[in-house]
Chains A and B, each alone.
Chain A
Amino acid sequence: MPPQVTADVAGAPPPWRVLSTTSPIELRRFAAQPWDVVVVGSGNAALVAAITARKTAQRVLVLERAPRHLRGGNSRHTRNIRCAHESGDDFTPGAYSVDELCHDLQVVGGAESPALARFAAAESRTIPQWMADHGVRWQPALSGTLNLSRTNRFFLGGGTALINHYVRTAESAGVVVAYGAAVSDMLLHDDRTVERVALDTLDGRIGISTRSVVVAAGGFEANHDWLRRYWGAAADNFLVRGTPFNDGSALALLISLGAGVVGSPRGFHAIAVDARAPRFDGGIATRLDSVPFSIVVDRDGRRFADEGSDIWPRRYASWGRLIADQSGQVAYSVYDSQAAKHFMPSMFPAHTGNTVAAVADEAQLDGARLEATVTEFNDHVDPDGHFDPSALDACTTLGLIPPKSNWALRIETPPFHILPLRPGITFTYMGVAVNEHAQVLDRHGEPFTNLYAAGEVMSGNILSKGYLAGFGLTIGAVFGRIAGQEAARHAAH
């Protein structure tokens, strides 16, 4: 039986029962003997590292700071992985070569370290088989994602199911997973070698001795204080799409130990999400698909960008940042009943009204201003355009600034709708420098002896701008596997 995660049990249970975390008593028991490999985090990269390490190492401990139901970090919210393959199969029809994958990386912005990127792309070929061998199940590309079907493999049930499969595999192989176990410090010997990791618990500090450490604990996107350093007060209006536990404490710890930093501190991937989404953990369901079939206005009712500039999925990547740059970090997608049928339904109902002024009122926008914007837009729509929702249709505006270069349909058929948008951050790019063995490098490029990193905490070595759907998981799996191997190998010496 899994531990109950809700509080509907009789009496007042201890906090680690309610939160389904590992009790301090048990954590202390873990500290009694040294471990071969300690893995910090329990997402894709962490669990791949733990499972791999356990193949040769005896004692492998996974420390997850979230309670059990939030285990898996941002991997909980993922759904597919991008791997190169020589030929098609049931799930990814058609070949996708290493060269093409590297090319795609180049197109979205290029790699920080081309050598590591090429290495990850080449290694990615063996990842799907490895995942299948460790319990992961696939499904055909989800509806509405056909453009990814050749390049990306979808997990049956998505990322949470992926994590469940991994944990099951890891635990049955003898890996120990602890929840509610936040690493607060690492104690080094000779500045290069980790001797112990420290956990802060309700019951005081616990030191766990280990021969090697893999840090796979994500970025800092859930830490608004940290984001504020680079974004000022605007950061307060950023919604975090994933786990509230990615506050970057492990990243900060590695930096404080002297790790080299890669990637711009302002670098993040963000998309347009519903402004009514929760501050954390809203995931895929809060993503809005309406932008290309609408006009988007700022809170003063004015358009500010070309809504029809690009097709899926790049349009997702650009709109998060565009909205982050507007006043109040909010925008409004305005469309009519004709356009509504062309995109996926949203989780929250749209504001609706029979006139533009009425719906503006609903959404607390200036009705006269919005009416003027809509009229101006309608007047500039090319009357000869041929609308095609499935392609860049060049159905455009004429002489409007900014233009809407595709899918420009007049907004004229009531009822009218408005969806409020905010930037939803998926992950941050800044991380620690690593080499091909996944060893963390110091500021001079010299490796720590037994400290490894995988996943978001180091993905800035490869992808530090732009976005390639499903490639974050590829980096996590490739470097998780190497980190696990290397950490176990080091522990054996």
Chain B
Amino acid sequence: MLLIDLQAEATRQLTICNACRYCEGYCAVFPALEIRRDLERGDLVYLANLCHDCRACYYACMYAPPHEFGVNVPKVLSAVREETYSRYSWPRFAAKIFARGALWTILACALAAVVIASGIALFAPDHRLFGVVLASGSFYEFVPYLTLVSVFLALGVFVLVATIAGALSFWRDTSSPLRDLLNLRALRQASRDALKLRYMRGGGDGCFYPSDQPSPHRRIAHSLVFYGFFLDLAATATAALMQDVWRVMPPYPLVSVPVVLGVTGGVMLVLGTSSLIWLKERSDTVPSSAGMRLKDYALLTSLDLVAITGFLILGLRTTSLLGVTLAVHLASVGVLFLTMPYGKFVHFGYRYLALVQNALESHQS
């Protein structure tokens, strides 16, 4: 859909919502809509990113298709969100390359894994891709410490810069002064709403996935992914501390802070991403946009790959398959990092900012 058409269509549907208002009790989107009489593009972007896609409004709507009014708020807002992701990505051209579906993600991982594996075979000491590293050694016998750290540090900085660039232009377009981002009260409220996934309660009983009946599945699965991801980040951070501050070199024993955090986070990630994929597979596709589905699957697959290959490393670290597994794992982490600023991953930033904006608005009124 052309952007102009998308904006017109979203405005058409939300104008009907604003004349109806039955969904006011479900989430923050509808009360936020009601205080806006004319919808500018920035308003649409804000409302779209405030939407948590719980579908409560769709199943409660007497104007949902096949009604001639064709009101399908989850779908049109998800199309606007999708447009947001590419519009605010930095650099823009990279979005065209990296914003792809799950299949592309898997292929990219495979390709990257081959490159890394070849690198190991070419440059590792003894060219031993299939060598066995016993307790004494570490991954650094395959990939030198400096290479590993500098590549992923560079990727990390890139993700950070791209994310901040996106967030700033998002905030500018949703037309709030920059200093409002420092409003502690709003930040606290938004953080509470985000951490609890408040708007995945669908007005009480949960999101309407996979059928037209509310259930807590999606909220639980999303929480597993969210907190699993942070546990894995924490695992990486503590591993870095142990290695670079306390000079304890990996591999770490099973009962150690990084491994326990990593395993817990990994289990949560695998469970969470797999159940989100499972839910998505079984859900009605009418209240969703095709492009967003692609992006959803891409991110879920990417996270799933990272977590699963992480476990493979743990399981295979004393075998001759470690080198290959490591290559695959590093590839999947690299692809996740590279696609982060262009795919579904960015939703967390925009949604958080929308929640901040919403907290600001509700404090004002």
Contacts and interface: CB of A to CB of B under 8 A. Distances in A.
Interface of A: 1-2, 4-6, 69, 76-77, 79, 137, 139-140, 142-144, 154, 156-161, 164, 168, 278, 281, 283-287, 341, 344-347
A322 to B, nearest CB: 22
B247 interface: no
A156 B204 contact: yes
B66 to A, nearest CB: 6
Contacts of A154: 25
A140 B213 CA distance: 22
Instruction: Give the interface SS of chain A, mostly helix, strand, loop or mixed.
Output: loop
Given A142-B24, A164-B212, A6 B65 contact: yes
A250 to B, nearest CB: 21
B143 to A, nearest CB: 47
Contact of B19 (A2, A6, A143, A347): A347
B40 interface: no
Contacts of B22: 79, 142, 157-159, 161, 284
Nearest to A143: B34
B62 A160 contact: yes
Given A1-B210, A69-B66, A164-B60, 4 more contacts: A1-B284, A137-B203, A286-B19, A287-B19
A1 B208 CA distance: 11
B188 interface: no
B21 interface: yes
Interface in B1-29: 15-16, 18-26
Given A157-B26, A158-B22, A164-B59, A2 B212 contact: yes
A157 B62 contact: no
Nearest to B17: A285
A416 B24 CA distance: 31
A285 B60 CA distance: 14
B204 A285 contact: no
Instruction: Give the interface SS of chain B, mostly helix, strand, loop or mixed.
Output: loop
Contacts of B16: 285, 347
A76 B23 CA distance: 13
A283 B56 CA distance: 19
B37 interface: yes
Contact of B284 (A2, A142, A158, A344): A2
Contacts of B282: 1
A172 to B, nearest CB: 10
B59 A285 contact: no
A195 B23 CA distance: 43
Contacts of B56: 157, 161
A345 B62 contact: no
11 contacts: A156-B25, A157-B22, A158-B20, A160-B61, A161-B22, A164-B212, A278-B68, A283-B62, A341-B37, A345-B19, A347-B16
Contacts of A284: 19-20, 22
Q: Which of A139, A157, A158, A286 has the most CB of B within 10 A?
A: A157
